[in-house]
Amino acid sequence: MDKVIIISGPTAAGKTAAAVNLAKKIGAEIISCDSVQVYKYMDIGSAKAAPGERGGIPHHLIDVVLPSQTFSVGEYVAKAKKAFDDIRARGKPVIVAGGSGFYLKSWFGAVSDELFVSEKIKAECDELQRSPNPNALLEKLLSLDSRAGEFIDIQNPRRVRPALERVMASGMSVGELKRRFETLPCPYGEIEREFINIDLPDEEIFARAKIRAQKMVERGLVEETRKLLEMGIEKNPAAASAIGYRETISAIKTQNFEGLAEEIFASTRRLIRKQRKFLRSIGV
């Protein structure tokens, strides 16, 4: 059975350095598990390790797409699986490093049901979403599955539409879809996982996060973000809302840069707490 070493933990804990050091010792290659570092030119705000900081270790899934282009978890899985298979075919160990939500979760189980949703269904949902009735999507979902609220947060529009599309595409209830999803295999096949959680006490990790936010601004985060705006980063909400860039885009638009580093640090602090909670939720 193939094995993967997964190094994760909250932001600013030191995952990158730990992964590079271990890779040097065991001759491994690294697959990034960071949803911001997949974007080219998003370097400072993502704390992307410069080539010289990678220790000569091959890194995969970094600088994959332009910031204006969306990049789904399904696309991540496809590219990560190819990288994983290629590395193992060369007889080298694999280290997965990072802590981004569904990217990380994909190494423990299925994250996509791969259910085909037709353009006709998407168009119908588009029309409902544009309706003057703000609850049109939810009402349609409940008309098809009155028990949907037992399985998803129906107060969250980001949960309602995908659920509706899948109910319409499959003819199944949300509960049935959930049970079906839970039987799907890990997209990387049967793999042995060694998980290493990199974390630090609150006082230390928050101090590191604060210094990192300050250094990002000092190293040219505003200039980097201006260039990203010219490249069309706002066409991609996922990239534009990434911590560091979201706050900087707002500062550029308001021309108010006072306290930018503090705002980024505050967002990072909240993220650290969310990341720890997420890691507990997937049982690691």
Q: What is the CATH number of the domain that holds 83?
A: 3.40.50.300
pLDDT of residue 113: 81
Burial class (CB within 10 angstroms; exposed 0-12, middle 13-18, buried 19+) of 163: buried
- Could you tell me if residue 275 is inside a domain? no
Do residues 193 and 55 both lie within one domain? Answer: yes
Q: Per-residue confidence at 282, pLDDT binned at 50, 70, 90?
A: confident
Query: 65 - beta bridge partners?
Result: 39
- Could you tell me if residue 281 is inside a domain? no
Beta pairing, strands 29-32 & 2-8: unpaired
Do residues 165 and 102 both lie within one domain? Answer: no
Domain that includes residue 81, residue range: 2-112+185-197
- Could you tell me if residue 212 is inside a domain? yes
Listed residues 169, 197, 225: the one ending a domain: 197
Listed residues 142, 171, 197: the one ending a domain: 197
- Could you tell me if residue 62 is inside a domain? yes
State pLDDT tens for residues 150-173: 999 998 877 899 999 999 999 999
pLDDT of residue 283: 65
29-32, strands of its sheet edge to edge: 59-60, 29-32, 94-97, 2-8, 191-197
How far is 189 from 1, CA to CA, in rounded Å?
A: 9
Q: What are phi and psi of 274, to 5 degrees?
A: -65, -40
Do residues 155 and 23 both lie within one domain? Answer: no
State pLDDT tens for residues 160-215: 999 999 999 999 999 999 999 889 999 998 999 999 999 999 999 999 999 999 99
Q: Which two tokens stand for residue 196?
A: 């290493």
- CB neighbours (10 Å) of residue 80? 23
Q: What is the DSSP string of 40-101?
A: TT--TTTTPPPGGGTTT--EESSS-B-TTS---HHHHHHHHHHHHHHHHHTT--EEEE---H
Listed residues 140, 163, 197: the one ending a domain: 197
Do residues 178 and 261 both lie within one domain? Answer: no
Which of these, 25, 31, 27, 26, lies nearest to 6 by C-alpha position? 31
How far is 72 from 160, CA to CA, in rounded Å?
A: 18
Do residues 95 and 228 both lie within one domain? Answer: no
- Could you tell me if residue 193 is inside a domain? yes
Q: How many domains does the chain have?
A: 3
- Could you tell me if residue 85 is inside a domain? yes
State pLDDT tens for residues 19-38: 999 999 999 999 999 999 99
Do residues 93 and 67 both lie within one domain? Answer: yes
Q: What is the CATH number of the domain that holds 229?
A: 1.10.287
How far is 137 from 235, CA to CA, in rounded Å?
A: 24
Do residues 219 and 191 both lie within one domain? Answer: no
Do residues 168 and 126 both lie within one domain? Answer: yes
- Could you tell me if residue 106 is inside a domain? yes
Do residues 99 and 123 both lie within one domain? Answer: no
Do residues 161 and 91 both lie within one domain? Answer: no
Helices 260-281 and 245-254, packing angle to 10 deg: 150
Do residues 42 and 134 both lie within one domain? Answer: no
Do residues 108 and 246 both lie within one domain? Answer: no
The pTM for the full model equals 0.84
| Three-state DSSP state, 111 | coil
State pLDDT tens for residues 92-128: 999 999 988 889 999 998 988 878 899 999 999 999 9
